[in-house]
Chains A and B, each alone.
Chain A
Amino acid sequence: MAEHLLEVRNLSVQFHTAGSTVHAVRNISWHLDRGETLAILGESGSGKSVSASAIMNLIDMPPGEITSGEVIFAGRDLLAMSDDERRAINGKRIAMIFQDPLSHLNPVFTVGWQIIEVMRIHGVSADAARARALDLLTRVGIPAPETAMRKYPHQFSGGQRQRLMIAMALALKPDIVIADEPTTALDVTVQAEVLALLGELQKETGLGLLLITHDLGVVADIADRVVVMNAGEIVETGTPDEVYHNPKHPYTRKLISAAPGRGEMHEPNATGEPLLKVENLCKSYGSFTALNGVSFTLQPGETMAVVGESGSGKSTLARALLRLDEADSGHAYWKGRDLLKMPAKELYQLRRQLQMVFQDPTQSLNPRMTVYQLISEAWVIHPEILPKAQWRARVEELLTQVGLSPVHAERYPHQFSGGQRQRIAIARALALRPDLIVCDEAVSALDVSIQAQVIALLDKLRRELGIAFIFIAHDLPVVRDFADHVMVMQAGECVEVGTVRQIFENPQRDYTRRLLDAGLDPDPRVQAARRMPSARVGAEVG
Chain B
Amino acid sequence: MGKKMMRRIVSSFFSLVALVVMVFFLSRLTGDPAALFLPIDATQEMLDQFRELHGLNDPLIQQFGRYVWDVLHLDFGDSIRKARPAIEVVLESFTWTLQLALITIALVTALAITIGSIAAFRPGGLFDRFVSLVSLVGASAPDFWIAIVGIVIFSITFGWVPTSGTGTVWHWILPVAVLFIRPFGLILQVVRGSMLTAFGSAYVKTARAKGVGNRSIIFVHTLRNAMLPVITVIGDQAAAMLNGAVVVETIFGFPGVGKLMIDSILQRDFNVILAAIMVTALAIFVMNLLIDIAYALLDPRLRT
Which A residues are within 8 Å of any B CB, using their own CB?
56-58, 87-92, 95-96, 98, 100, 103-109, 117-118, 121-122, 152, 154, 168
Which of B201, B211, B301 lies in contact with A87, CB distance below 8 A?
A: B211
Q: Is the CB of B201 within 8 A of A90?
A: no
CA distance A2 to B211 in the complex (A): 29
Interface pair A107/B213, CB less than 8 Å apart: no
With a 10 A CB-CB cut-off, give which of A57, A90, A92, A95 has the most chain B CB atoms.
A90
By beta carbon, the residue of chain A nearest B206 is A104
- A121 near B211 with CB under 8 A, answer yes
Q: Which of B190-209 contact A (CB under 8 A)?
A: 201-203, 205-209
Tell whether, in the assembled complex, residue B299 and residue A95 are in contact, meaning their CB atoms are under 8 Å apart.
no
**Is there contact, CB below 8 Å, between A106 and B208?**
no
A164 to chain B: closest CB distance in Å?
A: 11
Give bound CA distance, A104 to B208, whole Å: 11
The complex places the Cα of A154 from the Cα of B303 at a distance, in Å, of 12
Cα distance A118–B211 in the bound complex, in angstroms = 7
Whether, in the assembled complex, B225 has its beta carbon less than 8 Å from a beta carbon of chain A, the answer is yes
Instruction: Please state if A87 and B209 are interface contacts (CB–CB under 8 Å).
Output: no
From A87, A95, A109, contact of B213 by CB (8 A):
A87
Given contacts A106-B221, A107-B225, 15 further A-B contacts (CB under 8 A): A56-B209, A58-B208, A90-B210, A90-B211, A91-B209, A91-B210, A105-B203, A106-B203, A107-B299, A117-B212, A121-B210, A121-B212, A122-B211, A152-B301, A154-B300
Tell me, yes or no, whether B66 is within 8 Å of chain A by CB: no
For the complex, what is the distance from the CA of A107 to the CA of B302, rounded to whole Å?
Answer: 11
A89: which B residues are within 8 A, CB to CB? 211
A residues less than 8 Å from B299 (CB atoms)? 107-108
Residues of B whose CB lies within 8 Å of any CB of A are 201-203, 205-213, 216, 221, 224-225, 298-301
Taking a contact as CB atoms under 8 Å apart, the answer to whether B208 and A107 are in contact is no
Complex interface: chain B residues within 8 A of A91 (CB): 209-212
For the complex of A and B, the 4 pairs showing the least CB-CB separation, nearest first, are A90-B211, A91-B211, A91-B210, A103-B202
Q: How far is the CB of A272 from chain B (nearest CB, A)?
A: 50
Chain A residue numbers with a CB within 8 Å of B213 are 87, 121
Is A90 a contact partner of B209 (Cβ separation < 8 A)?
A: yes
Residues of chain B lying within 8 A (CB to CB) of residue A87: 211-213
Find chain B residues with CB under 8 A from A152 CB.
300-301
Residues of A within 8 A of B221 (CB): 106
> In the docked arrangement, what's the CA distance between A57 and B204, Å?
13
What A residues does B205 contact at CB under 8 A?
58, 98, 104
In the assembly, what is the distance between CA of A506 and CA of B201, in Å?
45
Contacts of B210 in A (CB 8 A): 90-91, 95, 117-118, 121, 168
In the bound complex, CA of A105 to CA of B211 (Å): 15
Among B201, B208, B211, B225, max chain A CB count under 10 A is at B211
Nearest B residue to A118 via CB reads B210
**B207 / chain A contacts, CB cutoff of 8 Å:** 106
Whether A92 and B211, one on each chain, are in contact in the complex, defined by CB atoms closer than 8 angstroms, is yes
* Chain A residues positioned under 8 Å from B202 (CB to CB): 98, 100, 103-104
How far apart are the CA atoms of A152 and B303 in the complex, in Å?
Answer: 11
In whole angstroms, what is the CA distance A346 to B245 when docked? 57
Would A98 and B206 be within 8 Å (CB), given that A90-B211, A103-B201, A121-B213 are in contact? Answer: yes
**Contact between B208 and A105, CB atoms less than 8 A apart:** no
Residue of B nearest to A103 (CB): B202
CA distance A107 to B201 in the complex (A): 11
Q: Which residue of B lies closest to A89 (CB)?
A: B211
Asked if A106 and B206 sit within 8 Å, CB to CB, the answer is yes
- Sample 17 A-B pairs with CB under 8 A, ordered by A number: A56-B208, A58-B209, A91-B209, A91-B211, A96-B206, A98-B202, A98-B205, A98-B209, A103-B202, A104-B203, A104-B206, A105-B203, A106-B221, A108-B224, A108-B298, A117-B210, A152-B301
